[in-house]
Amino acid sequence: MRRIWTWLTAPARVLVIGFATVILLGAFLLTLPIATKNGQGLAFVDALFEATSAVCVTGLVVVDTATTFTLFGQIVLLSLIQIGGLGFMTMTAYIFVLLGRKIGLKERILIRESLNQWSLQGMVKLARYVLVTTIIIEGTGALLIAYFLHERLGWGQALWYGIFHGISAFCNAGFDLFGNFSSLTSEVGNWGLNLTVMALITLGGLGFAVIAEIHRGKHRKWKQLSLHSKMVFAISSALVIIGAVAVYFLEFSNPFTLRPLAWDTKILASLFQAVTPRTAGFNTLDLAHIRPTTVIILIMLMFIGASPGSTGGGIKTTTFGALAAAVWSVVRGKTEVEVFERRLGQEIIYRAMAITALAIGVVSLVSMILTVTEEADYLTVLFETVSAFGTVGLTLGLTPKLSLAGKLLITMTMFIGRLGPLTMFMALAQMEKPNLIRHPEEKILVG
């Protein structure tokens, strides 16, 4: 019995079990008659899909949020988004603090795993900082969104829209209340709303450790920043710029996307569509009509995703950066991987390789199975799969049409994507004892 308890309480398994428990509770609440406007509640599979999408801050939906759910149902979704965005163990830490309970070593280890940190030092302090920062950013975003919508909706509805979309955007969830699966397409020219949502998405995707480093004022100059923060800023900026330029030029003449818009709105829409694949899931362009090349670019952006310790998913910007740096070092004939005059250890490179390989494996397997279960071309299926794995929430229109098998597959993919493939497989694997034997080295031919 003790051995089973030890196995179950391993950090990776506690996170998996914790997230699964929250999802099942949310799914049960969404099946209640009070949760839907028709008074019948959702079917369990649909409720499980919606709850998983909310907790995994994805945004893929099989029913329209605005027209399906009552205020109670929307509050349930919003609560699941907030728990999923901040992390199960981070929320647990807040409850411990409020109850006056001492946070022990095991809880600190779990918080470290939840926030994707290396060190145990300052975990409780960081968790408190995450809570305060989240309240301030989401509150400010909610007020700004309400202001930009109040003339059309009135202050009462605008405030609720502000709260819902402020939390959804900062947590990179992508859920919206505009109806008809339209996301923010009706607000493509609303500069204030677009810029506010982009700012929330960006802040949520940077990672709390990066925000804390900048906010505390100790390392505000570029040279003083940690290597992690430098890589996050550099890679995130490069991906947004490259994505915006690509969308602008590829969709400029597309009569269903950018062509009908004014030149300044074209720029805004291109920038927004480059920011949102960083796992946010909102869109102001009709993705069902974008060009195939644009689809491929969005798939690449979604696969990379946000940064570690953030509310976003994907393999993460620093994982991509570490692999790119390793490749560049090999091309240049160097034996060590260097980034911004710093050396990356082999452990980091191995971890980045494992995460990427597992991610490619999951996406490839799920997308192949979906080509059998769903009536859609492979590019559409691949887009849907990467969107689910990267916890993005963008869709080419396939999600509401998914079969039962497709819904379960995408649900599983969202779950793996939110926890991370490495964490998920570590939770399932039996941990081996440390290997005290070092075998002789021998070379093989590669390439």
User: Would the pTM count as exceeding 0.95?
Assistant: no
- Whether the Cβ atoms of residue 353 and residue 315 lie closer than 8 Å to each other: no
DSSP class per residue in 356-373: HHHHHHHHHHHHHHHHHH
pLDDT at 273: 95
pLDDT at 99: 47
69: helix, strand or coil: strand
pLDDT in tens, 354-404: 889 999 999 999 999 999 999 999 999 999 999 999 989 899 989 989 999
- What separation in angstroms does the CA of 353 have from each of 99, 258, 319, 414, 421? 41, 37, 8, 21, 12
Residue 342: φ, ψ to 5°: -130, 150
Residue 351: φ, ψ to 5°: -65, -40
Whose tokens are 């991987």? That residue is 337
Q: Report the alpha-carbon distance of residue 398 to residue 374 in Å, rounded.
A: 9
Residue 214 tokens read as: 């900048």
Instruction: Tell me the longest C-alpha to C-alpha distance in the chain.
Output: 73
Q: Report the alpha-carbon distance of residue 88 to residue 67 in Å, rounded.
A: 29
CA angle 126, 172, 66 (to 5 degrees): 130
What element of type H or E holds 164? Answer: helix 155-170
- Whether the Cβ atoms of residue 30 and residue 45 lie closer than 8 Å to each other: no
Q: Report the alpha-carbon distance of residue 128 to residue 369 in Å, rounded.
A: 42
What element of type H or E holds 350? Answer: helix 346-373
Angle, in degrees to the nearest 10, between helices 11-30 and 44-55: 130
pLDDT in tens, 49-100: 999 999 988 889 999 999 999 999 999 999 999 888 876 556 555 555 554 5
Side-chain-facing half-sphere of 195: CA atoms under 13 Å: 7
Residue 344: φ, ψ to 5°: -95, 135
Q: What is the pLDDT along the chain (447 residues), one digit of tens a residue?
A: 555 545 455 556 667 777 888 899 999 999 999 999 999 999 999 999 999 999 988 889 999 999 999 999 999 999 999 888 876 556 555 555 554 555 555 555 555 555 555 555 555 666 677 778 888 999 999 999 999 999 888 999 999 999 999 999 998 888 999 887 778 888 898 999 999 999 999 988 887 778 777 776 655 677 778 888 899 999 999 999 999 999 999 999 999 999 999 999 999 999 999 999 988 889 999 998 999 999 999 999 999 998 887 777 889 999 999 999 999 988 988 888 888 888 888 888 988 998 899 999 999 999 999 999 999 999 999 999 999 999 898 999 899 899 999 999 999 999 888 877 766 666 566 555 556 777 787 777 676
- Whether the Cβ atoms of residue 312 and residue 87 lie closer than 8 Å to each other: no
pLDDT at 17: 79
Q: Report the alpha-carbon distance of residue 391 to residue 59 in Å, rounded.
A: 7
